[in-house]
Amino acid sequence: MKKVLFLCHGNICRSPMAEFVMKKLAAEAGDEDTLVIESAATSREEIGNDMYPPAQRCLRSHGVPFTHRRARQVTQEDYDDYDLIVIMEEYNRRNLRGVLREDPEGKVRTLLSFAGSDRDVVDPWYTNDFETAYEDILEGCEAILEQIQKGIL
């Protein structure tokens, strides 16, 4: 069983999009029973809020099912519990230091690093470009799933 936690700043746009994209990919591959996939925030700003409506619309337009959820902040217990902590951008790593302080097991990686890129998934909260965020998230999630299936992760 692999446990993957996606993180972004508020847990209302990119990380829940990644959570539900990854769940869909895992289900299509028949791997939903071997993966635990969730998301959280590095900040406390949106705690308790559901996924941002434009993010929901973007997922719906791509046929990605999602459920009602409440944003939550990552904890030190999450670090201990998850095998992989996937951040959307380097800014998330800096924010994460306030919660985790360090990453002794090397669990924290940027999403697009799995696809061989050093690009960040740009925050659609500011750009209003949910489509580009979706495409980047899909690319990263497909790469993660492929590496898990090949036993690399």
Nearest-angstrom CA–CA distance, 19 and 39 = 6
Q: Are 65 and 97 in contact (CB under 8 A)?
A: no
Q: Are 31 and 145 in contact (CB under 8 A)?
A: yes
Annotation marks residue 101 as catalytic: no
Annotation marks residue 60 as catalytic: no
Q: Are 39 and 11 in contact (CB under 8 A)?
A: yes
Annotation marks residue 14 as catalytic: yes
Catalytic residue, from 13, 14, 78, 136: name it: 14
Catalytic residue, from 13, 58, 123, 141: name it: 123
Catalytic residues: 8, 14, 123
